[in-house]
Amino acid sequence: ASSRDGNWEIYVVKVDGTDIRRLTSHPSDDSAPAWSPNGTQIAFTSDRGGSNQIYIMSADGGPATKMTSEARKADRPTWALDFIAYSAEVPGGVEIKKVNVGTRDVVQLTDGPGSNESPTVSPNGRHIAFVTTRWGKEHIAVMDADGKNVRQITFAGNNRYPRWSTR
């Protein structure tokens, strides 16, 4: 995402910096893009409906489809084969939810304590790493894609922005 034209929009660019293409063009902010595993779609956050929600569009641009209708806001989408995990602001904090790409059914995966956010889906789609304050400071936890078997994997300091290796 870039605000190069004065408004946050989604762009793609070749690795050598050429062929910059703007994919969204909306007066609201579009940000936090995430590629689908097969590279044909992009999920992103937009406040075009009044509050941040998750949308998807073709990787070539075109119309966006709203995937979430959270009462407050949704942010930081991350793809698996058939679902998108994201952070959702709820009364009392932030929780991890997922939306089925085909049906748009939403399932809440975490339920406190503390804040649970910034999810990232493992390359095989079976696990989700995320940031949580359930143990005091910001730590990284991993859970199964269905929200079960939550386990802490960092223990010192504050920890943010988990990512998976493909190796």
Q: What pLDDT is stored for residue 2 in this prediction?
A: 76
Segment 45-52 mean pLDDT? 92
Q: Is residue 5 pLDDT above 80, yes or no?
A: no
Q: What pLDDT is stored for residue 28 in this prediction?
A: 87
Q: What pLDDT is stored for residue 90 in this prediction?
A: 93
pLDDT tens digits along 90-101: 998 999 999 999
- Domains recognised in the chain with CATH numbers: 31-152 (2.120.10.30)
Segment 75-98 mean pLDDT? 95
Burial of 60 (0-12, 13-18, 19+ CB in 10 A): exposed
Are 97 and 108 contacting, i.e. CB atoms less than 8 angstroms apart? yes
What angle is formed at CA 26 by the lines to CA 20 and CA 32, rounded to 5 degrees?
65
Q: What pLDDT is stored for residue 1 in this prediction?
A: 81
157/16 Cα distance (integer angstroms): 37
Q: What pLDDT is stored for residue 92 in this prediction?
A: 87
